[in-house]
Chains A and B, each alone.
Chain A
Amino acid sequence: LADGVAVLPAPQNLSVHSANMKHLLTWSPVVVPGEIIYYSVEYQGEYEILYLSHLWIPSHWCSSTKGPQCDITDDITATVQYNLRVRATLGSQTSAWSTLEHPFNRNSTILTPPKIKVTKDGFHLVIELEDLGPQFEFYVVYWRNEPGAKEHVQVVKSGGIPVHLETMEPGARYCMKAQTFVKAIERHSAFSQAECIEVQGDAL
């Protein structure tokens, strides 16, 4: 209470979960039995922090949201530090702002090895990579599964589309693995597990 007036508590435990350049701000919900609480999220980038510290910008998707989370991916558009804050609203009551303890930078996102699907189109070796969005490129490494085989590397600019890598020789076994690369943060993921495929027929 403040001067006898109920004060809505501010949201607590703000944190950002970021994986593959998708950034989710979460917080502990404010609970008032029988009531629906709405939340507002605002951000300021490093430019605002440095030059316009009074200026906070309403989040694209969460200027008034029910869930104790907010997809801030569309707000985080540069590889710089971002401050984030949340407040709760119940009717005419508004809580104080809660600010993320440490600024968030998207270069800390977790990059997971991409899912890959290896198929053959006749004698053609084909790979399809997980579609992770426009910011992702892929390095695909493939080789013929035999001693001393040379590794080949191919850059694939986007996922979700089958890519023909090579024409296979009958009876041979081919393997491949892939990793993602995000130019915006100059980082790549670990390699996926290798997957192999064999084409029938007599080896030459």
Chain B
Amino acid sequence: RCSPSMDTNPVKESFQGIKGAIQTKDTLKNVTILSNLHSIKPLDMCCVTRELLEFYVERVFKYREKLSLQISRAVSSISNSFLALQRTVQPCKEHNLCPCSEEATDATRNINNNYEELEVQSAVIKSLGELDVFIAWIDKNYHQETSTA
């Protein structure tokens, strides 16, 4: 299985600085976008990681106009770190080591559906606010993997 070394520290540092401000802006408290990550099987980790990195890069980080300078800076830092993480995962796909099972495809489709059910700005704020869920999931699965490898 492909388990690249995922340096999430820069993302955590940047997110820590804006977490409170972002999560306060999230007014839809009873809804989540990143659902069921905990049920992803080890074999599907690479696929879901790749899909979620793309989800954030393509659908979340672009919408910054209404954010403060401090938040915009942090989101810039996070989005550029995501580009670097995408390049870390890319070789796995190129070597066909990043398969997507039906369950993985369903899981990422659900996440995109959750996003689409909300108005864009609300969906962006909620997705940004749930970055800690995604990063914790990466840390748990990749660093636990490398530490037991």
Chain A positions near chain B (C-beta within 8 angstroms)? 44-48, 50-52, 55, 57-58, 60, 77-80, 183-184
Q: CA A14 – CA B81 in complex, angstroms?
A: 25
B5-25 near A? 1/0 per residue, CB < 8 Å: 001001000100000000000
Q: Answer whether A77 and B83 are a contact pair too, CB < 8 Å, given A52-B62, A52-B64.
A: no
CB-CB nearest in chain B for A59? B73
Interface of B is mostly: helix
How many chain B residues sit at the interface, stated as a range, is: 10 to 19
In the complex, the answer to whether A80 meets B80 with C-beta atoms within 8 Å is: yes
Chain B positions near chain A (C-beta within 8 angstroms)? 7, 10, 14, 57, 61-62, 64, 69, 72-73, 76-77, 79-84
Q: How many A-B residue pairs have CB under 8 A?
A: 49
How many whole Å from A111's CB to the nearest CB in chain B? 17
In the complex, the answer to whether A78 meets B64 with C-beta atoms within 8 Å is: no
Q: CA A52 – CA B80 in complex, angstroms?
A: 12
In the complex, the answer to whether B83 meets A80 with C-beta atoms within 8 Å is: yes
In the complex, the answer to whether A78 meets B77 with C-beta atoms within 8 Å is: yes
In the complex, the answer to whether A51 meets B84 with C-beta atoms within 8 Å is: no
B-chain residues with CB within 8 Å of residue A58 when the two chains form the complex: 69
B-chain residues with CB within 8 Å of residue A46 when the two chains form the complex: 80, 83
How many whole Å from B75's CB to the nearest CB in chain A? 9
